Amino acid sequence: MRLLMAGSPGSGKGTHSRRLANDLGISHIATGDLLREQVAAGTPLGREAKVYMDRGDYVPDKVMVDMIKHRLSEPDAEKGFILDGYPRTQTQATELDKVLADLGQQIDAVIILEVPVDEIVERLSARRTCPSCQRAYHMRDEPPADDERCDDDSTPLERRTDDEPDTVRHRLKVYADRTAGVIEHYDVDSIVRRVSGEASVDEVAKRIHEALGF
Ligand code: ADP
């Protein structure tokens, strides 16, 4: 199965993509995570990307298109995948179509997680992330067992630099201006499933399963 997980920053894409990939036994491919790995490793790509990410802007299409082409050609992607946070621009969507056509593949469904803006701002201000495995926690609603460490690998949690309130507002604007319309590109194929993401993680996971027909 090949899925796209879409929705604005803070809508729960990462949490639900990770969980669904696990449930379905397919790969979770999150462009934000791939970029943060490059930043943490201090590669030239990571250094370039960090400038955009810290401002809440998109990393240039050329970088993203090459990155996803390479990632989708890795062996594990053959069994299926969830793309989390990609495509975000018209160019990325068009290029993704070409890559999939070359691989003889197609997208089965696009899940859009819908969450009101006020709730998103609240969630991102309460979010802490594990810099090692990227798992996200909501410090009030879904806190880790130990306040400061990841449940999975005990790494000290951090606040992402782009989760500062001014940067969050900018990210939401960039999403509305550049990405919301791109997702509609998939509406013509009737594969879009809109799911309200305003509920507990378990409840939203259940809604996603229902929307996909299982
Ligand atoms: P969010 O969805 O909350 O913005 P992500 O972890 O998915 O969080 O992305 C973090 C940042 O990484 C984005 O703000 C952007 O700078 C960069 N990024 C991730 N995916 C893309 C993409 N497809 N195109 C351009 N930039 C991207």
Q: pLDDT 10s digit of each residue in the chain, 214 long?
A: 999 999 999 999 999 999 999 999 999 999 999 999 999 999 999 999 999 999 999 999 999 999 999 999 999 999 999 999 999 999 999 999 999 999 999 999 999 999 999 999 999 999 999 999 999 999 998 899 998 999 999 999 999 999 998 999 999 999 999 999 998 778 877 899 999 999 999 999 999 999 999 8
Distance between Cα 87 and ligand 1 center (Å): 10
Could you give the CA distance from residue 98 to residue 108 in angstroms, rounded to a whole number? 16
Could you give the CA distance from residue 54 to residue 92 in angstroms, rounded to a whole number? 21
Is residue 159 part of the annotated active site? The answer reads no
Residue nearest to atom 4 of ligand 1 (CA): 9
CA distance readout (Å), 106 to 11, 14, 75, 103: 25, 22, 17, 9
Total-model pTM:
0.92
C-beta neighbour count of 174 within 10 angstroms: 17
Residue with tokens 């990210």: 171
pLDDT of residue 186: 86
State both tokens at 1: 């199965």
State both tokens at 162: 């782009």
Within 13 A of 154's CA, how many CA atoms are on the CB side? 0
**Beta strands 136-138 and 127-129, pairing class:** antiparallel
Could you give the CA distance from residue 18 to residue 64 in angstroms, rounded to a whole number? 20
What element of type H or E holds 94?
A: helix 90-103
CA distance readout (Å), 198 to 137, 147, 165, 191, 208: 16, 24, 20, 22, 12
* Phi, then psi, of 137 in degrees rounded to 5: -125, 145
Could you give the CA distance from residue 50 to residue 204 in angstroms, rounded to a whole number? 31
Residue nearest to atom 2 of ligand 1 (CA): 9
Helix (H, G, I), strand (E, B) or coil at 154: coil
CA distance readout (Å), 91 to 72, 94, 168: 17, 5, 24
User: Which residues line ligand 1 at a C-beta cut-off of 6 Å?
Assistant: 9-10, 13, 31-32, 35, 52-53, 56-59, 64, 85-86, 88, 92, 162, 171
Which is the closest atom of ligand 1 to the Cα of 55?
16
Cβ burial of 113 (10 Å; 0-12, 13-18, 19+) is: buried
Mutation choice for ligand 1 from 36, 55, 58, 128, CB with most ligand atoms inside 8 A: 58
Give the bridge partners for 84, in sequence order. Answer: 5, 30
